[in-house]
């Protein structure tokens, strides 16, 4: 079994870390550089920073923030938000990011996945998917969960893999911030039908939820935000617990 990864996620708005429930009701959670450094020291395997209100004006600010993050942490990190073209990828990688995450821009222009994989390598390209379980199955959403699309979770992630995505970051909008566990059934079907790693996102509230994401959902990594930001779960304790459950964890 490949070692599983624990990934804190920091949603950035106006230079601060924020966290909401079901993608709304945001509250502040602290300075992203300080939080990132703390997680790095506590044993997080990777970090994800998402500029959740990315706009053209905010790009320069976010690039500067990425440079500060890179100078302060020593673990790999992924950045996302407002990445629409190869120049954006180039700028963020040059600022120190290890990977980039695309979501809405990939749905609007799937060729972007091919272009990133071809120019920078598949390992750089993380496809983020915000999906909600509806009466018609799992539907993918645009613009931070605001607009439903005709893309279906499994077919879209398969297409992304074929186009060269190196990893899938799947957030269940039904589970986001609710702390009742990950969407393990959907995760397991993704893990079974894809050959690239799947990161579970949305729903962590207890250590057992991470265990279930790995054992039931067959996820390669588990991402969480508020349980880490507000000190409800400490990363060293979580890793120790998971090891005790027979799960191979990094470091």
- At 21 the pLDDT is 66
Can you list the residues of the chain whose pLDDT is less than 50? none
- How many Å apart are CA 100 and CA 86, to the nearest integer? 11
Active site members: 11, 130
- The tens digit of pLDDT for each residue in 131-164 reads 999 998 999 998 878 899 999 999 999 999 999 9
- How many Å apart are CA 67 and CA 60, to the nearest integer? 11
- Report the candidate in 3, 86, 71 with the shortest Cα–Cα distance to residue 36: 71
Q: Which two tokens stand for residue 240?
A: 């120790």
- At 22 the pLDDT is 62
- At 1 the pLDDT is 64
DSSP 71: H
What's this model's pTM, rounded to 2 decimal places? Answer: 0.94
- 3-class DSSP state for residue 158? helix
CA atoms within 13 A on the CB side of 242: 27
Q: Which domains does the chain have, with CATH numbers?
A: 3-243 (3.20.20.70)
State the alpha helices, DSSP H only, in the chain. Answer: 32-42, 59-72, 86-94, 104-108, 111-120, 153-163, 184-193, 207-215, 226-229, 235-244
Angle among Cα 100, 102, 105 to the nearest 5 degrees reads: 140
Tokens 């509230």 found at = 205
- How many Å apart are CA 75 and CA 61, to the nearest integer? 22
Query: Which residues, in sequence order, are bridge partners of residue 177?
Result: none
- 3-class DSSP state for residue 47? strand
DSSP string, 4-33: BEEEEEEEEETTEEEEEETTEEEEEEE-HH
């Amino acid at each position: 079994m490949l070692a599983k990864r624990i990934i804190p996620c920091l949603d950035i708005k106006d230079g601060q870390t924020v966290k909401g429930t079901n993608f709304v009701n945001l509250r502040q959670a602290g300075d992203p550089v300080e939080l990132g450094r703390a997680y790095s020291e506590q044993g997080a395997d990777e970090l994800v920073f998402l500029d959740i209100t990315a706009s053209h004006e905010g790009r320069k600010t976010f690039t500067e923030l990425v440079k500060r993050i890179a100078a302060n942490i020593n673990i790999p990190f992924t950045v996302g938000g407002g990445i629409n073209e190869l120049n954006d990828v180039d700028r963020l990688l040059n600022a120190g990011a290890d990977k980039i995450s695309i979501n809405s821009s990939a749905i609007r222009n799937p060729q972007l996945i091919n272009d990133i994989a071809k120019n920078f390598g598949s390992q750089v390209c993380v496809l983020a998917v915000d999906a909600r379980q509806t009466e018609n199955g799992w539907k993918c959403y645009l613009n931070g969960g605001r607009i439903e699309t005709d893309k279906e979770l499994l077919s879209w992630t398969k297409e992304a893999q074929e186009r060269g995505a190196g990893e899938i970051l799947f957030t269940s909008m039904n589970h986001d911030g609710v702390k009742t566990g990950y969407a393990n059934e959907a995760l397991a079907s993704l893990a079974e039908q894809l050959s690239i790693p799947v990161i579970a996102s949305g729903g962590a509230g207890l250590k057992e939820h991470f265990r279930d994401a790995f054992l039931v959902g067959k996820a390669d990594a588990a991402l969480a935000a508020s349980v880490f930001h507000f000190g409800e779960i400490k990363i060293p304790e979580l890793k120790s617990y998971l090891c005790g459950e027979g799960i191979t964890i990094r470091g």
